[in-house]
């Protein structure tokens, strides 16, 4: 279990085991603390859809990765049980950044919001999620 005493390198090592996000999508951990995380990836050809824009699934993966970190630092092992995402705009920059924050952290459920922006400050998407704390 990770907590606030773990270094950012230890958090990166642990969540590097989320191989789809870290290897296939290139997600990086920028910040990690109780109920909060910031993750990002540099937009590359592997993120594009047929129309030449960042695929919704790549955006969701980044948001989900940030969620996983925010809801597991200093908590019992936690998994997402419901997620909803709204896409606002196409990315115009070269990087996507997801910021996850806890809205309410309970004993068995946690509620989170993840905002996704590009490096130009454009709002790209917002995810809300409900997470379950496993015993």
At residue 91, the pLDDT reads 96
What DSSP string describes 58-124?
HHHHHHHHHHHHHHHBTSS-EEEEEEEEEE-----SSEEEEEEEEEEE-SSEEEEEEEEEETT--EE
| Domain parsing of the chain, residue ranges | 8-133
Q: Which of 53, 59, 35 is nearest to 115 (CA)?
A: 59
Tens of pLDDT, residue by residue over 78-122, are 999 999 999 999 999 999 999 999 999 999 999 999 999 999 999
At residue 4, the pLDDT reads 86
- Please give the order of strands across the beta sheet that includes 95-105: 28-33, 36-42, 95-105, 109-118, 123-133, 78-87
Specify the CATH superfamily of domain 8-133: Hotdog Thioesterase (3.10.129.10)
At residue 15, the pLDDT reads 97
Whether this prediction's pTM lies above 0.85 is answered by yes
At residue 62, the pLDDT reads 98
Tens of pLDDT, residue by residue over 25-66, are 999 999 999 999 999 999 999 999 999 999 999 999 999 999
At residue 110, the pLDDT reads 97
Residues 18, 89: contact at Cβ < 8 Å? no
Is 90 exceeded by the pLDDT of residue 126? Answer: yes
Is 90 exceeded by the pLDDT of residue 10? Answer: yes
């Amino acid at each position: 279990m990770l907590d606030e005493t773990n270094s950012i390198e230890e958090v990166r090592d642990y969540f590097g085991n989320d191989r789809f996000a870290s290897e296939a999508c290139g997600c990086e951990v920028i910040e990690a603390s109780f109920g909060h995380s910031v993750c990002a990836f540099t937009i590359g050809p592997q993120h594009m859809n047929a129309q030449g824009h960042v695929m919704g699934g790549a955006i969701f993966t980044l948001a989900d990765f940030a969620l996983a970190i925010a809801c597991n630092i200093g908590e019992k092992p936690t998994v997402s049980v419901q997620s909803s995402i709204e896409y606002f705009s196409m990315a115009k920059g070269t990087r996507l950044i997801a910021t996850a924050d806890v809205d309410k952290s309970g004993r068995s459920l946690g509620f989170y919001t993840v905002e996704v922006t590009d490096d130009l400050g454009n709002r790209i998407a917002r995810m809300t999620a409900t997470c379950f704390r496993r015993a």
